Structure 1
């Protein structure tokens, strides 16, 4: 306690507040949005976590939606994708493990595909709604492109503007989509 203008004031431990140090960060600066419930960390100096209501996403219960660019897709090139012939999944995983730039790999019709940033997921079998949901569940996913013709989908950890600084936008391709995840 210290005197301030003749009044006693508590020196609160880190992460506590109030006249008697009984308030934590959840009461003072609740980080949880959209009706999320703040849960104090076990160590008072650590960041609290949130229990999020349905339709919101961790870590702070943001509501997310997609901003679509229709009839377009993001074209990958050899800078972010490499195909290696005749490998099984184990060998493909080993190739990815050897390359520090590799962020994701899978076996496709032409062999092992190895991806680097900004790709964080790729698939050649699925529908757009499935990959929109997958991106929503991945905090690092900020953008996806779906190529209808061969049903390929790629998830990225960059915004559309940042993706276009390193990849090409192909427009006028009916049925293809780019979806940028916006959270608030």
Structure 2
């Protein structure tokens, strides 16, 4: 049986996820398909049921639904709890799991592709304070860099991200700079 995977959001037309995922599906000869699906909030419950029924094996989540997916899943991984955003839905045994893979994917790329390691002597700059930034900053905090500087166009979004993570840092290590 061919695995059915999706990325959902609204709008979704802009998403390049199917191009990227289908490249790897083809490269590794996986029996799967990955498509984009524009859905309204009212349709999410039905998609979750399709995962439960085995009709869909899972899906990724983008704007505007990352922050509301906790309402639809049985369990939330720590990555998603801390970042307050779910971007991946899958099933284990009889439970629908919500995860956030933004941070772990970003950190993995830094290490593998750039041979760049973050430690307590590293000063990090995160450009942007949108949805993916929450997952990335969450994973950066785990690596205990010296500082994390958030650079964003709008000051309020940068400050909101910083305030969200203050409870996860032992000292004032996250700073904001506005691009304007």
Same fold (TM over 0.5): no
TM-score, structure 1 as length reference: 0.24
Relative contact order, CA 8 A, sep 6+: which one is greater?
Answer: 1
Bigger share in strand? 1
Q: Bigger radius of gyration, 1 or 2? A: 1
